[in-house]
Structure 1
Amino acid sequence: MDILEQNKSVVRQFNKEVIEQGNRETFNTLIDPDFINQTAPPTANGADGMWNTFYNILRPAFPDLKVEIYDQIAENDKVTTRKAIVGTHQGVLMGIEPTGKQIKIDVIDIVRLKDGKYLEHWGINTLQSILMELKKV
């Protein structure tokens, strides 16, 4: 397997084992000590901030959370993934009480890897739109 396919495999593993399953051991294995989330606020842009988002915000609100990967493109040390995070709103999400509604957060991520680990992340997603929809219910 060439390095581009290896990098794509690492990103798929992160999505399956960390985001879907909440596996902290895999998270620690796949995150570089110098990791920076370039799209997070400066006070939450390290590994702890990323773990908090998945484990303490999304997973409790959507215990049946799944990641559907549609496309991946790898070039040099970066992998871009177009995906969706889907689940049922069964827990409190940023102050919004459970609605039982099925959600789909569309996401495009770019991850820069170093030695098979996440070094940098950039992302855009539709979470804000989902929050507005859930508030209407």
Structure 2
Amino acid sequence: MDHQARKEVVKRFNKEVIEEGNRASFEALMDTRFINHSAPRGTANDAEGMWNTFQHILRPALSDLQVQIHDQLCECEKVTTRKSITGKHTGTLLGIAATGKSISIDVIDIVHVQNGRYLEHWGINTLSAVLTQLRAD
């Protein structure tokens, strides 16, 4: 699998899984040995933990959820992506009632793609800063 194909796997995940909530795509793109090295302490770091983050935290809280990929780099089997997850805060987000405001979470993640599937993930994001701003408003 070449670098461009690995980038396409990550693009597909962002579009079909994060934006659209497509479970079949999620299962097709996740390796059974998947580990999320950035899972919050005390939460599952496997594929189901990743699915739950999108399906039970972000998607219910953000209508019109979209992922915009700004940059992607690939080295060996790892794809680094800088992106923004945007939407309108129309549902409860980690205990914060809907505000109706548009929000944007900036993300940089690294995904180890092997055989067309997500094997490992590391990431940083600005969710905590977004939550702080929502609480202050």
Same topology, TM > 0.5: yes
**Alignment match, 1:12:** 11
The whole-number CA distance in structure 1 between the counterparts of 2:48 and 2:128 is 22
Cα offset, 1:43, TM superposition: 3.7
1:88-127 alignment, distance < 5 Å? 88-127=88-127
Aligned to 2:38: 39
RMSD after superposition: 0.9
Deviation at 1:136? 1.4
- Partners in 1 of 2:122 and 2:82 — Cα distance? 12
**Aligned partner of residue 64 in structure 2, secondary structure:** coil
Distance (whole Å) between structure 1 residues aligned to residue 3 and residue 102 of structure 2? 34
Moved more, 15-24 or 39-48: 39-48
Q: What is the CA distance between 1:114 and its match in structure 2?
A: 1.0
**What one-letter code is carried by the residue in structure 1 that aligns with 2:110?**
I
Matched, 1:63 2:63: yes
Q: TM-score, normalised by structure 1?
A: 0.97
Distance in 2 between the 1:74 and 1:81 partners?
A: 9
Percent identity over the alignment is: 58
Structure 1 stretches of 4+ with a deviation exceeding 6 A read none
- Mean alpha-carbon deviation: is it higher for 69-78 or for 42-51? 42-51
> In 2, distance between residues paired with 1:42 and 1:127?
18
Paired with 1:55 and 1:72, the residues of 2 have a C-alpha distance of: 24
Q: TM-score, normalised by structure 2?
A: 0.97
User: In the aligned structure 2, how far is the partner of 1:34 from the partner of 1:42?
Assistant: 19
The CA deviation at 1:42 is: 5.7
Counterparts of 2:95 and 2:128 in 1: how far apart (Å)? 13
1:51 is matched by which residue type in structure 2?
A: W
Consecutive unaligned residues in structure 1, runs of 5 or more: none
Partner secondary structure for residue 111 of structure 2: strand
Q: Which deviations, in whole Å up to 9, do the C-alpha atoms of 1:92-112 show, x marking residues without a partner?
A: 001100000110100000000
Q: Please give the alpha-carbon distance, in whole angstroms, between the structure 2 residues aligned to 1:106 and 1:88.
A: 15
